[in-house]
Amino acid sequence: MSAVVFSQFGNLLIQANYDKEYGRGPEADAASKNLISTIFLIGNIIQVPLSLYIGHLCDGKRKVWALLTVCNFLSICFAVPFMIFIDTNNVGLVLGFVGLSTFRFTIYMLCLTMLSKIVKPESRGTLYGVFGVSGSIGVLLINKIGGILFDGYSHSWPFGICIGAQLTFMLLGLALGLTGKVKI
């Protein structure tokens, strides 16, 4: 779900910061679109070799839960400058956003990889269906609740809640992996 939060509300955040800096208008719109496309371009350029390498590691003797924990940790590390510089479109926010957009897809794919290794091959279709439905419900909730928080309270609320949830799941995965409850 962090992918949805940072993709959707990150764009709105950058637009709001430029509107605050330049005032609403074509100059703010152009600057916002340019920065957003640059962030996603850089993130995707980094993400492709990273995903290939991590996929290669998953095929070997590496534990998927450990790779997932590392990617979550790195993602949270990039969230720190994002949250510190949330009210400005400076290098800290851009660096944080690039890191978050880089790791979001990798984390998603590692979750699917781990789940597919846990479930029997004949049950994977059901697993992917449940994963897809839960993701769809999450997107609906994120759009509504995140929008209320973003517009009504503070631009940082949807991101802070998402980072808190990501930290919780990372620590849970780490605890389950270290105690041997997850062996994949």
pTM of the model: 0.81
CA distance 145 to 156: 13
Mean pLDDT of all residues in the chain? Answer: 84
Under the banding of pLDDT at 50, 70 and 90, the label for residue 2 is: low
66-89 pLDDT, tens digit per residue, is 899 999 999 999 988 988 888 888
**Which domains occur in the chain, in start order?**
2-178 (1.20.1250.20)
40-57 pLDDT, tens digit per residue, is 889 889 988 998 898 888
CA distance 173 to 55: 19
Mean pLDDT of 62-69: 87
Cα dihedral: 161, 162, 164, 166 (round 10): 160
Task: Answer whether residue 3 shows pLDDT above 80.
Answer: no
Do residues 106 and 54 lie in contact, with contact meaning Cβ atoms separated by under 8 Å? yes
